[in-house]
Structure 1
């Protein structure tokens, strides 16, 4: 029997009921991470009122997790290939649970930022493992495509569930309660994963290369930090970007010279692999950037409670899940170069609706996010499956880690770039009434939450005038931010159309 025949037989094997139970178990950490991200966006106003972070600290509360995660994903994915993907999953679950409990007791913004960074360390063990284990659980590509649609849908489901559950917690308990969700979810994972999820690893791993680990961290983290600094503070961020690029070059150089590299650089020579990564990166930037400003608008300007604001976004999240499932049979019949740009066109229309409305009409925001969710949810299902399909099964952990790096880097950039542009626009256009005292005026200039807190403290006509001025300045920046978001989705569609056209057989080796 030839190797090709054996490979084809493995690829044709259809998974049984235990595989689908294993998928459900693996969705627990995916659901948790997406719930945590959305809860944090919606808890941000409460955190801002309690801890009074500066605008930079407010961004760091969101970004610290993603920055550490981005720096460690490739390392943890590669270690999972060598040491065992299920083992890395369980190790990450224990650590993530412990650090989440520590975040509950955060007395300052600095403590919370440190806890979020520690969550990033253990989250880097969780996320690549969930996707890479799917490659071994579902060797049949049609089944794997459905599994990845469910995997991607869980992110959307968590994002939809997060504001509702988190809104209930925030309205009835202190904001610290949102971090306790990790305890029951990951405890259940620790019980069920050893029963239903088979261990998998690279059958011929190379030695753990400490130099490659250090170089990957020194490459990814400074680049993510530098781009964030460029968005917030200008050209000063070019320095860490240049440092990260230098270490990135050294990392690539080392991988190309090693007989068994930590990351197989030949993966990036596959157009579908690299193109899918870029599609996901641009799409996530656009999606997270939208969530950053819409969560603040709904709560601080429209005046919705966290739970009501969460319900306003449920249609978009639901359509994101349905879009990912509905596109699965379509992706079997048509080229990804046609399917992905077609799906993303819905997201482009969504952002243009927001730009035209300027963020003023609640129902237009709901409709816009429904279009955005449906388009990006469907596109990422197709591109996510292509990433796994174009990587050897033995390197699934490293390939998944690169995919997750694109997701997390997109989350960082969505908050820092679109959030930074929005903050700069807000500050430049905010006109503070002359009768507002200087200390309160300084708080109002920092963030929208600071302005609303100052308006509540002032009360009366002056407080109302400050509230109106802050709302007008914030929503004025929404138009510019939305146009940039639309441009990012256009870029993703063009990349998809130009790189995903070549059909390549699944690499099983």
Structure 2
């Protein structure tokens, strides 16, 4: 196993003022993607009321974007290595802005899901480009470590801004307005990037291998679908077939990469403990974080009755702590090995998640706020260290592909967070909710699917009947929150073990 070493770090030239302006421009798409994720979680009750999606459709509205994104990130990272990372960033920015407008005015759940899929396609062009461009803008290791800390903190900053901005928007405008945020954010990027960001690409890229791209999609899509279907319908033929298709496609993808002279994904990167360990840590911690945001945002609004802005303010301290932790860990990580600092940080996150789990889901707004402070402190520190290890472990000409792998771990974690914790929550709700007599068939179906559906139906009922329905629905939802929170604890503990074992020899 190789360690994270970089011989050129000592003599590499230091970046000047233009590079830091370029970093500011590159933060715009990072902020946008993280704001979009948080805003969407807080917009789910409004979407449920306006479009009346089924429980499965509601999950797909959340899942389809990171699913498409995760399936294409490595491919788009490699494409950026070939055609130019700045060029790909600009194409993705324009496409993302146009489709965001279409998503804002989607008239049905089906069309919103389709628009979210298109956003995933263009979003896959944005994220690997930003991280790989940093690798080539900041050649000095210390400067790059700080730049990546700022980049990683950008996700937390976007998440912190998302609840506040989203809460204000949702209190004054329709839910579609949250998608229109992309236009004013991406416009400065399109204008300034050609002047501030230097183009970079692999000097010997090889051809684009279309079969490899298709095999990645055929690996990830069926595997995530099988997890969702297993939680909803149990272990049936469709679950088995989906798993088999995903596993077989994954094996074929790996075999193809080993045979190609210029593979889409250089599998030799995974022989480095610093690279493979960091990727797995990203995957597990993001799965826990995004899954937690999925159920906590609904608990705050639909169980505790908070307005979107107030619910965002509850999570704000934890998200601010995540930003601060990502920056403070930079000087610490220069002196303490990753195999020590990352597990210690994740212990704090595990304690925060466990504080929600032990309540069985019956947790106050203050309890959630404190839990997310602990969660943000640990994950914010761990993500900065792991992302820097991913980039430092890869040669400069493969920065796009390496960034794509890192981003794939992020987005696959987002998919799995919603797919596993979200579907466990949905299954628990469906099995626990008791519907009172007097509901129509349509009302029974809506109220039996999701907590948001029950809240929508309750608005149509007289007081006593509405109260009985919501009491049962809230109790059923919170019983699932307790189970999902324990799964989140397990994911963070698994990330701790990977860090302690896999990174123990990394400098």
TM score, norm. by length of structure 2: 0.96
Q: Residue 216 of structure 1 contacts residue 247 of structure 1 at CA under 8 Å; is this kept in 2?
A: yes
Deviation at 1:444, TM superposition (A): 1.1
Which of residues 469, 484, 487 in structure 1 aligns to 2:487?
Answer: 484
Q: Residue 224 of structure 2 contacts residue 419 of structure 2 at CA under 8 Å; is this kept in 1?
A: no
- Looking at structure 2, the residues matched to 152 and 316 of structure 1 have their Cα atoms a distance apart, in angstroms, of 15
Deviation at 1:359, TM superposition (A): 3.5
Structure 2 unaligned runs (5+)? 1-5
Q: Which residue of 2 aligns with 1:305?
A: 307
Mark the CA change 1:51 to 1:12 in structure 2 (over 3 Å): closer, same or farther.
Answer: same
Q: Which residue of 1 aligns with 2:335?
A: 333
Q: Deviations over 1:310-357 (max 9, x none)?
A: 111100100000111111111111110111110001110011110123
Q: Which residue of 1 aligns with 2:406?
A: 403
- Looking at structure 2, the residues matched to 70 and 232 of structure 1 have their Cα atoms a distance apart, in angstroms, of 22
Choose 351-360 or 449-458, whichever is displaced more: 351-360
- Looking at structure 2, the residues matched to 238 and 368 of structure 1 have their Cα atoms a distance apart, in angstroms, of 37
Deviation at 1:105, TM superposition (A): 1.9
Please give the residue correspondences for 1:307-456 in structure 2 after superposition, counting only pairs within 5 Å: 307-357=309-359, 358-456=361-459
- Looking at structure 1, the residues matched to 139 and 232 of structure 2 have their Cα atoms a distance apart, in angstroms, of 45
Q: Residue 255 of structure 1 contacts residue 263 of structure 1 at CA under 8 Å; is this kept in 2?
A: yes
Mark the CA change 1:7 to 1:329 in structure 2 (over 3 Å): closer, same or farther.
Answer: closer
The answer to whether the aligner puts 1:289 opposite 2:283 as a matched pair is no
Q: Residue 320 of structure 1 contacts residue 376 of structure 1 at CA under 8 Å; is this kept in 2?
A: yes
Choose 435-444 or 257-266, whichever is displaced more: 435-444
Deviation at 1:168, TM superposition (A): 1.0
- Looking at structure 2, the residues matched to 330 and 232 of structure 1 have their Cα atoms a distance apart, in angstroms, of 44
Deviation at 1:208, TM superposition (A): 1.8
Q: Deviations over 1:69-112 (max 9, x none)?
A: 11111111000001100111000001001101111221100000
Deviation at 1:7, TM superposition (A): 5.7
- Looking at structure 2, the residues matched to 180 and 169 of structure 1 have their Cα atoms a distance apart, in angstroms, of 10
Deviation at 1:166, TM superposition (A): 1.2
Q: Deviations over 1:461-505 (max 9, x none)?
A: 11111111111111111111111110110000000100112236x
Q: Residue 9 of structure 2 contacts residue 140 of structure 2 at CA under 8 Å; is this kept in 1?
A: no
- Looking at structure 2, the residues matched to 55 and 345 of structure 1 have their Cα atoms a distance apart, in angstroms, of 33
Choose 41-50 or 207-216, whichever is displaced more: 207-216
Q: Which residue of 2 aligns with 1:507?
A: none
The answer to whether the aligner puts 1:35 opposite 2:38 as a matched pair is no
- Looking at structure 2, the residues matched to 116 and 10 of structure 1 have their Cα atoms a distance apart, in angstroms, of 44
Q: Deviations over 1:108-155 (max 9, x none)?
A: 000000000000000010011011111001111111111111111111
Q: Residue 347 of structure 2 contacts residue 496 of structure 2 at CA under 8 Å; is this kept in 1?
A: yes
Deviation at 1:211, TM superposition (A): 2.3
Which of residues 457, 460, 467 in structure 2 aligns to 1:457?
Answer: 460
- Looking at structure 2, the residues matched to 40 and 148 of structure 1 have their Cα atoms a distance apart, in angstroms, of 26
Q: Which residue of 1 aligns with 2:3?
A: none
How many residues align structurally?
A: 499
Q: Deviations over 1:191-241 (max 9, x none)?
A: 111111111101111122222222222223322333332233333333222
Q: Residue 102 of structure 1 contacts residue 115 of structure 1 at CA under 8 Å; is this kept in 2?
A: yes
The answer to whether the aligner puts 1:18 opposite 2:54 as a matched pair is no
- Looking at structure 1, the residues matched to 189 and 363 of structure 2 have their Cα atoms a distance apart, in angstroms, of 42
The answer to whether the aligner puts 1:226 opposite 2:226 as a matched pair is yes
Please give the residue correspondences for 1:186-197 in structure 2 after superposition, counting only pairs within 5 Å: 186-197=186-197
Q: Which residue of 2 aligns with 1:134?
A: 134
Choose 215-224 or 246-255, whichever is displaced more: 215-224
Q: Residue 67 of structure 1 contacts residue 225 of structure 1 at CA under 8 Å; is this kept in 2?
A: no
Q: Which residue of 2 aligns with 1:253?
A: 255
The answer to whether the aligner puts 1:162 opposite 2:151 as a matched pair is no
Choose 203-212 or 312-321, whichever is displaced more: 203-212
Deviation at 1:248, TM superposition (A): 1.6
Computed over aligned residues only, the root mean square deviation of the Cα atoms, in angstroms, reads 1.4
Deviation at 1:188, TM superposition (A): 0.7
Q: Deviations over 1:248-269 (max 9, x none)?
A: 2112111111222221110011
Q: Residue 432 of structure 1 contacts residue 469 of structure 1 at CA under 8 Å; is this kept in 2?
A: yes
Matched residue SS, 2:460: helix
Q: Which residue of 2 aligns with 1:52?
A: 52
- Looking at structure 1, the residues matched to 468 and 503 of structure 2 have their Cα atoms a distance apart, in angstroms, of 52
- Looking at structure 2, the residues matched to 364 and 186 of structure 1 have their Cα atoms a distance apart, in angstroms, of 36
Deviation at 1:11, TM superposition (A): 5.4
Mark the CA change 1:11 to 1:238 in structure 2 (over 3 Å): closer, same or farther.
Answer: farther
- Looking at structure 2, the residues matched to 457 and 289 of structure 1 have their Cα atoms a distance apart, in angstroms, of 31
Q: Residue 9 of structure 2 contacts residue 139 of structure 2 at CA under 8 Å; is this kept in 1?
A: no
Q: Deviations over 1:51-83 (max 9, x none)?
A: 000000000100111111111111110000011
Choose 438-447 or 314-323, whichever is displaced more: 438-447
Q: Residue 278 of structure 2 contacts residue 390 of structure 2 at CA under 8 Å; is this kept in 1?
A: yes
Deviation at 1:437, TM superposition (A): 4.0
Q: Which residue of 2 aligns with 1:266?
A: 268
Q: Deviations over 1:286-327 (max 9, x none)?
A: 000110011101111111111111111100100000111111
Matched residue SS, 1:12: coil
Deviation at 1:443, TM superposition (A): 1.4
Deviation at 1:382, TM superposition (A): 0.5
Q: Which residue of 2 aligns with 1:3?
A: none
- Looking at structure 2, the residues matched to 22 and 487 of structure 1 have their Cα atoms a distance apart, in angstroms, of 39
